[in-house]
Amino acid sequence: MALVFRLPDIGEGLTEATVVRWIVAVGDSVAMDEPMVEVETDKAVVEIPAPRAGVMLHHGVGAGETIPVDDVLVVIGDSGEVWDPGTAPNDGAHPPPVRTEAAPIVGTLEEAEEVDDPRLHTGPEALPLVRRLAATLGVELESVTASGAGGRITREDIEAAAQATGPMERVRMSPTRLAISRNLSRSWQEIPHVTTYGEAKAEPLLAERNRLKEDSGDALPLEAFLMRTLVPLLGEHPEFNAAVDGEDVLYRKAYDIGFAVDTPSGLMVAVVRDVEELSLEDIGAEIVRLATAARDRKINAGEMRGATFTVSNIGAVGGRYGTPIIPYGTSAILSVGRADVRPVVRDGELGVGREFPLSLSYDHRIIDGGKGRAFMDAVIAGIESAS
């Protein structure tokens, strides 16, 4: 008897996934727990194993297509069995989603936006959504030839006009980029950001890093030294290892520090767990492992969730200062820039030295300016006393 298998929620809050490739083709045999399909979720590529042995009777979508959670992913049956979608059995574990007229809230809002109200505009006939597209693309409505009913300007008319004045291409964001967009937008919209800046003398930390490299032959990631410095400071300043949850503040007692990884698919944040229990060398090894997995798209979703604080080494890509966006569910992020050789003033004397440019963004709902500055000063002192 055929088994209908629906896309499960393989990541917290997952709503959809995109099929990267089918490992098992329709008509081929598959063993239980054998990888059958590779899908791209929020930020990772995941292989989904077969829920039973048998013959692949049906693919819910093709490669490159997106499938919502709880939609039919595959149907697996016995040799010689033919699957009829109209009478397909269900495994009972994931019943088909029940949809009502009130369910598609997003669709309802979009339709409402399409309702044209003559009070909203004068001039050429165009729906508000079309007018917004024209503004985005820099197209003057008066210059557009309308092709819609009743002389109305359509989306296609706007895109054609824009194409005529400047070639362009419309490309849908990848699932990874969409996830980044959603997460950063949510953080920016819900968290009142404040960013403070500072500089830390870089020579002590860089000297220690070079010394350890000479001893072991490998250079530890800069993030390892920063995490080691941050753990005691986060204990002394618990607001920075916290999160706002409604009217409550959640003070984390563990130190799971995230770090930004620049990958070909976009920025990802991997998380080193229980940093306080690891040696400097172990922190460095875990950073290397996670960064490699992220770049190779082998990192799993659990390794990118649950950070209590985040470090972003923008110096690795040549940056200095920034205004880092706080990852949702945390209260702060520290950005560390490139320590170039520059003119510096120390002890009232002008000289040449190296300093880390530091940018600290924090949640102003629970962290005031004085506490933000105190934490930044503590971070500077910690970096400068590295040994």
How do 257-263 and 309-313 pair as beta strands? parallel
129 with 114: CB under 8 angstroms? yes
| Rounded distance between C-alpha atoms, residue 10 and residue 29, angstroms | 24
Mean pLDDT value across residues 73-85: 88
Tell me what pLDDT residue 43 has.
Answer: 59
* Catalytic positions, written as ranges: 364
Report whether pLDDT(270) > 80.
Answer: yes
Q: What percent of the chain has pLDDT over 90?
A: 56
Of the ranges 19-23, 167-171, 224-228, the best mean pLDDT one: 224-228
Q: Is 304 helix (H, G, I), strand (E, B) or coil?
A: helix
Average pLDDT, the chain: 85
Start-end ranges of CATH 4.10.320.10 in the chain?
105-165
Alpha carbon of residue 95 to chain centroid:
30
Tell me what pLDDT residue 174 has.
Answer: 84
Tell me what pLDDT residue 291 has.
Answer: 95
Tell me what pLDDT residue 136 has.
Answer: 85
Tell me what pLDDT residue 242 has.
Answer: 97
Pair of tokens at residue 169: 């291409």
Residue predicted with more confidence, 161 or 358: 358
- pTM (whole model) above 0.85: no
Report whether pLDDT(90) > 70.
Answer: no
Tell me what pLDDT residue 234 has.
Answer: 97
Q: What class has domain 3-87?
A: mainly beta
Q: What percent of the chain has pLDDT over 70?
A: 87
Q: How far, CA to CA in Å, does 25 sit from each of 31, 200, 265, 292, 319?
A: 13, 57, 27, 30, 46
Report whether pLDDT(289) > 90.
Answer: yes
According to CATH, what is the number of the domain 105-165? 4.10.320.10
340 with 354: CB under 8 angstroms? yes
| Rounded distance between C-alpha atoms, residue 256 and residue 121, angstroms | 52
Multiple choice CATH, 176-384, 3.30.420.40, 3.30.559.10, 2.30.140.10, 1.10.3720.10: 3.30.559.10
Start-end ranges of CATH 2.40.50.100 in the chain?
3-87
